[in-house]
C-alpha cells in the first residue's frame, strides 16, 4: 500500500516515470540501511516495526525527491517561458526598428529630393534676380549719367544766363545723379561678393596690402595721409580678389572718416592668436558709438549725414560678407572721438 501511495504521489507531482524511479531509489536506500537490522533474530513485532519504518522512510524519501524535482521543473518552465517572452519582445522590437529605419530612409530620400528641387528652384530664382538686378542697374545708370552730364553742360554753356539759384539747382541735380550712380555701383559690388565663386588658397597678406595701397596711392596723396604697415604680414587662406576688396574698403573708410582738416593716420598690422590670424586697420578718425558697432556692418548703414563723407553705407557690409564667405569674420573696437580698430579674422595658413 505504501508503494502504491508513493507512486500515486509521484505521478501527481512529476509523472509516472519520475514516481517509479523515486520509489525504486527509496527502496534501495531502505534495504541498504535496514536489511541487517530486519534480518537479526527477534520477535515478529520488532520485524514488523522495522518494516514499517522502512516503508515510511522509502515513501518519505520518494515524495521529497519528487517535490524537489517538480520544483526544479517548475523553475525551469518559468525561466523558459520568460526567455521565450524576451525573445518574442526582442523580435517585435527589432521588427519595429527595421520598419522605423525603412520609414526614416524613405523620409530622408524624400527630403533630399525636396531639398534638391528647392535648391534648383532657388538657384534659378537667384540667377534670375541677378540678371534683373544688373539689367535694372545698367538701365538706371544710363539716365543718371545723362542727368549729370546735361546738368554740367547747362552750367558750363548757359551759366551766364542763369541766376545763382538756377545754377545751384543744376549743380544739385548733377551731384545727386552722380551719388545715385555711385550707390548703384556699390549695390552691384555687394551683390557680386555674395555670388562670386570663392577659391581659397594661401595668400600673402603683405602682397594684398601692397596692391591695395598702390591702387589708393592718389587718394592717399591728396589727403596727405600717413600709412604705416607693420611688417611682416603672414599668409592666410583666402580668395585673393575678395581679400583685396575687403582691405580696400577698410583702408578707404580709414581715409574718409576723419575730422575736417585732419590728415588721416592709418596703421596696418597683423597678429596670430592660437590658430587664428587677425589683420588690424587702425585709424584716428571719428570713432563709433558702442551701440552702432554691429549695425555699421549692415547694408546702407552709415552714421554720417548724407553726403558728408562721401560714404555709401555698403563698404563695411561688403567687408563682413566677404569675410564670412571665406570662412572668417570681422569686427571693430572703437571709442567715439578716438578712432577705430577694424579687424578681419582668418584661420591660420
Is 61 part of any domain?
no
Residue 49 pLDDT grade (very low, low, confident, very high; cuts 50, 70, 90):
confident
| Alpha helical stretches, state H, the chain | 2-14, 16-39, 44-158, 164-195, 205-215, 217-223, 240-256, 315-325
* Lowest-confidence region among 10-24, 177-191, 229-243: 10-24
d(CA 337, CA 211): 30
**Percent of the chain scoring above 90 in pLDDT:** 27
- Burial code (b: 16+ CB inside 10 Å, e: under 16) for 274-284 equals eeebbbbbbbb
With a CB cutoff of 8 Å and minimum separation 6, the contacts of 209 are: 229, 233, 247, 268
The mean per-residue pLDDT over the stretch 215-225 comes to 93
Q: By the 8 A CB rule, do 286 and 258 touch?
A: yes
**In this predicted model, what pLDDT tens digit does every residue of 51-83 receive, in sequence order?**
778 777 777 776 777 778 878 888 888 888 888
**In this predicted model, what pLDDT tens digit does every residue of 93-104 receive, in sequence order?**
999 899 888 888
The mean per-residue pLDDT over the stretch 35-46 comes to 54
Helix, strand, or coil (residue 31) = helix
Residue 204 maps to which CATH number?
A: 3.30.565.10
Pair 211, 186 in one domain: no
Domain count, the chain: 2
**In this predicted model, what pLDDT tens digit does every residue of 230-241 receive, in sequence order?**
999 999 999 999
Residue 18: per-residue pLDDT: 54
Can you point out the beta strands (E) in the chain?
201-204, 226-229, 235-238, 265-273, 276-283, 329-334, 340-347
Pair 291, 332 in one domain: yes
Pair 185, 292 in one domain: no
Pair 263, 175 in one domain: no
Is 239 part of any domain?
yes
Residue whose grid cell is 527595421: 98
pTM higher than 0.85, yes or no? no
Residue 51: per-residue pLDDT: 73
With a CB cutoff of 8 Å and minimum separation 6, the contacts of 19 are: 6, 7, 8, 9, 10, 11, 13, 62, 66
Asked whether the bond before 113 is cis by omega within 30 degrees of 0, the reply is: no
Residue 179 belongs to domain spanning: 127-194
Q: By the 8 A CB rule, do 223 and 264 touch?
A: yes
**Residue-averaged pLDDT of the chain:** 80
Amino acid at each position: 500500500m505504501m508503494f502504491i501511495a508513493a507512486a500515486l504521489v509521484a505521478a501527481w507531482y512529476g509523472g509516472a516515470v519520475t514516481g517509479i524511479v523515486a520509489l525504486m531509489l527509496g527502496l534501495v536506500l531502505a534495504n541498504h540501511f535496514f536489511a541487517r537490522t530486519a534480518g537479526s533474530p527477534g520477535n515478529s513485532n520488532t520485524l514488523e516495526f522495522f518494516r514499517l519504518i522502512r516503508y515510511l522512510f522509502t515513501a518519505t524519501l520518494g515524495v521529497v525527491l519528487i517535490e524537489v524535482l517538480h520544483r526544479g521543473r517548475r523553475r525551469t518552465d518559468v525561466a523558459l517561458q520568460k526567455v521565450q517572452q524576451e525573445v518574442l519582445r526582442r523580435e517585435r522590437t527589432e521588427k519595429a526598428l527595421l520598419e522605423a529605419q525603412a520609414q526614416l530612409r524613405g523620409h530622408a530620400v524624400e527630403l533630399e529630393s525636396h531639398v534638391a528641387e528647392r535648391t534648383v528652384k532657388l538657384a534659378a530664382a537667384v540667377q534670375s534676380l541677378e540678371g534683373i538686378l544688373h539689367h535694372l542697374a545698367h538701365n538706371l545708370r544710363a539716365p543718371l549719367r545723362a542727368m549729370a552730364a546735361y546738368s554740367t553742360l547747362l552750367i558750363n554753356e548757359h551759366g551766364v544766363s542763369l541766376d545763382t539759384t538756377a545754377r545751384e539747382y543744376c549743380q544739385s541735380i548733377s551731384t545727386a545723379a552722380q551719388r545715385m550712380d555711385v550707390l548703384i555701383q556699390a549695390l552691384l559690388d555687394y551683390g557680386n561678393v555674395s555670388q562670386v565663386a570663392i577659391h581659397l588658397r594661401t595668400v600673402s597678406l603683405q602682397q594684398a596690402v601692397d596692391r591695395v595701397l598702390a591702387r589708393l596711392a592718389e587718394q592717399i596723396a591728396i589727403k596727405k595721409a600717413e600709412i604705416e604697415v607693420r611688417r611682416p604680414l603672414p599668409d592666410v587662406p583666402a580668395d585673393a580678389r575678395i581679400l583685396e576688396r575687403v582691405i580696400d574698403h577698410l583702408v578707404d573708410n580709414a581715409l574718409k572718416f576723419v575730422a575736417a582738416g585732419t590728415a588721416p593716420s592709418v596703421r596696418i598690422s597683423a597678429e596670430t592668436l592660437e590658430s587664428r590670424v587677425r589683420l588690424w586697420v587702425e585709424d584716428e578718425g571719428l570713432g563709433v558709438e558702442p551701440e552702432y558697432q554691429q549695425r555699421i556692418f549692415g547694408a546702407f548703414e552709415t552714421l554720417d549725414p548724407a553726403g558728408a563723407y562721401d560714404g555709401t553705407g555698403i563698404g563695411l557690409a561688403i567687408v563682413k560678407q566677404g569675410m564670412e564667405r571665406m570662412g572668417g569674420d570681422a569686427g571693430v573696437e572703437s571709442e567715439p572721438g578716438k578712432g577705430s580698430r577694424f579687424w578681419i579674422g582668418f584661420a591660420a595658413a
